[in-house]
Amino acid sequence: MEHSIRDLVRQRLFGIACGYADCNDAARLAEDPIQKLLIGRDPLTGAALASQPTLSGFENAPRRADLYRMGEGLAESVIERLRATFPKARILVRLDGGFGGPELLNFLEDEAKVDYIIGMAENKVLKRRAQRRMGRARRLSKRRGKTANVFGETRCAAKSWKGRKRRVLIKAEVVRLEGREPKDNERFVVTNLRLSPASV
């Protein structure tokens, strides 16, 4: 039997909602009356739900590029809905560094035209630019006997950004916890905001 995309999505979502996170559960749920009812089939005489191979094939069919386009489409539609409902609202996107690839940065700046603050992994260039501030943070922490922060910023053009210079905020921090050695904790975020580093 052929299953519509709508039914496959509903079967998977309702299965997860009912505690069946694994596609392997589809084998024993194919004739489950409640699961059939949830996707709009007669619980007793309705056709069986999709098998495990069918569900797994459906779930694993999209390629990385497809998933990226789906995410982009979702972001566009969410931003459009928000702007239509709240035309004067300022949209700020905050993300961990794992999400901050060059394609996303370009999308946020060029198409979505929203503000963003995205974590960045440290690299040799950023660590070098944070050295002087880390020295100040260490001296402050030693003098005060507690955690100290020094904020700063730089303009950076990562190779993957293809010549685009972006604002990178630096938090040079030395963490002091009772009974432990002081620990350096440098943090970097890329942003298109114009606020001071300490306020972001």
141-185: pLDDT as tens digits:
999 999 999 999 999 988 888 889 999 999 999 999 999 999 999
Compute the distance between CA of residue 95 and CA of residue 183 in angstroms, rounded to an integer: 25
Compute the distance between CA of residue 149 and CA of residue 147 in angstroms, rounded to an integer: 7
Compute the distance between CA of residue 54 and CA of residue 36 in angstroms, rounded to an integer: 16
Compute the distance between CA of residue 88 and CA of residue 77 in angstroms, rounded to an integer: 17
pLDDT > 70? residue 200: no
Cβ within 8 Å of residue 173, ≥6 positions away: 137, 147, 148, 149, 150, 184, 185, 186, 187
Letter string b/e over residues 155-184, b meaning 16 or more CB atoms within 10 A of that residue's CB: ebebeeeeeeebebbbbbbbbeeeeeebee
Among 58, 142, 156, which Cα is nearest to 100's? 156
Q: What's at 179, amino acid-wise?
A: G
pLDDT > 70? residue 84: yes
Residue 70 — pLDDT band, cuts 50, 70, 90? confident
Which pLDDT score, from 0 to 100, does residue 193 have? 93
Locate tokens 């789906």: which residue?
70
Backbone torsions φ then ψ of 81, nearest 5 degrees: -60, -45
Structure pTM?
A: 0.64
Residue with more model confidence, 141 or 1: 141
Sign of CA dihedral 156, 99, 86, 77: positive
Per the CB < 8 A criterion, the answer to whether 39 and 56 are in contact is no
Give mean pLDDT, residues 59-82. 84
Compute the distance between CA of residue 164 and CA of residue 30 in angstroms, rounded to an integer: 52
pLDDT > 90? residue 54: yes
Locate tokens 């052929």: which residue?
2
Q: What's at 91, amino acid-wise?
A: I
Q: How far is the first Cα of the chain from the last one, in angstroms, to the nearest whole number?
A: 55
Residue 111 — pLDDT band, cuts 50, 70, 90? confident
